[in-house]
Amino acid sequence: MIKNFTTLAALFFASFGGQTSAEQFQTEDQFTENLSRQTRITPLTLEKLYQYGVTDETELRLEYFFYTNREKKAASLHEALEKLGYSGRYGQSADEASIFIVTGWSMPVKMSKDSAVSWTETMCRIGFKYDAEFDGWGTNPEQ
């Protein structure tokens, strides 16, 4: 009886666009951990940038990185980021065929702690919405 219910539930979710656990790339717990990690790393990254003459008033384009397990998810995330004015691309990982990468450049972001952490949090949340993990950002201080 339970086995039949589980099979029925899996078919129901698959039929209506829901994800089975085998398809899910990032769980809610993983998202929460990643969000915490990324928002802790951002102020440390800013401190390094400040050493290169960047100030909290400087606006820089940020290079972003996401990973997911399906091309369709990568394409949808890429499209959502383009709607924000970001330029980027997506494709299959050269190292692992089951991983898809989304990368590109943001619009200019103010390099104050509040702005950068808020941007980082937004990117984590957008990634989670499209079942992708935000893997962080980098930049060139001499833009």
Domain ranges for the chain: 26-138
Mean pLDDT of all residues in 68-83: 98
Mean pLDDT of all residues in 64-74: 97
Predicted pLDDT of residue 90: 98
* CATH number assigned to the domain covering 26-138: 3.30.70.970
Q: What is the CA radius of gyration of the chain?
A: 18
Predicted pLDDT of residue 9: 35
What rounded mean pLDDT belongs to the chain?
88
Tell me: pLDDT of 125 over 80: yes
From CA 10, how far away is CA 28, in angstroms rounded? 19
What are the distances in angstroms from CA 53 to CA 48, 109, 139, 141?
Answer: 9, 16, 13, 8
> Higher-confidence residue: 42 or 18?
42
Predicted pLDDT of residue 89: 98
- Quickly list H helices, the chain: 2-15, 28-50, 71-83, 113-129
